Structure 1
Amino acid sequence: MKIIVERAKCTGLGICESLAPEVFEVDDSGELVLLEETITEHQIADVEAAVTGCPTEALRLER
C-alpha cells in the first residue's frame, strides 16, 4: 500500500505522527514528511489509524 498526502489540506497538527511515528514526521516548519511512502504489513494498523484520525482528511491509502 502507498500513502497519498494532499499537501494543500495538511495543517501539520501531527496526529499522524503520534499514531505512526515510524512513517510520519512533522518537521520544524510544520511540513509533513513521509519517512516511508510504501507501508509494510506490520505498519498497516497504525497508518490506517493515522488516516482515519486526520482531522483535515489530508491522508489516504492507495492499495
Structure 2
Amino acid sequence: MRLEVDRSRCEGHGLCAGAAPSLLDLDDDGELAFLRDEGADSDADQARAAVRVCPVVALRLV
C-alpha cells in the first residue's frame, strides 16, 4: 500500500495530516509532506482515513 497525492489538486487543508499523523504532515508553506508514503499494515487505517477526509480528492491508495 502506498499513498499518492495529486499536488495540482491539494489545497493544504491539512485534514489528511490530522487523520494520518504518522504518515503525513504540512510543512511551513502549507505543502503536504510525506513522513512515509509506504505504510505498514498498522498504518492502513490511517491511510484510508486520510484519503476519505480529503475534501478535494487529492489522495489515493495504490
Identity of aligned residues (%): 39
The residue number in structure 2 matching 1:24 is 24
Once residues 3 and 19 of structure 1 are traced to their aligned partners in structure 2, the CA distance between those partners, rounded to angstroms, is: 13
Once residues 10 and 34 of structure 2 are traced to their aligned partners in structure 1, the CA distance between those partners, rounded to angstroms, is: 12
SS in 1 for 2:61: strand
The structural deviation recorded for 1:6 is: 0.2
Once residues 6 and 51 of structure 1 are traced to their aligned partners in structure 2, the CA distance between those partners, rounded to angstroms, is: 12
The residue number in structure 2 matching 1:50 is 50
What residue ranges of structure 2 are gaps of 5+ in the alignment? none
The structural deviation recorded for 1:5 is: 0.5
What residue ranges of structure 1 are gaps of 5+ in the alignment? none
Letter in 2 for 1:28: D
The residue number in structure 2 matching 1:41 is 41
Q: How many residues align?
A: 62
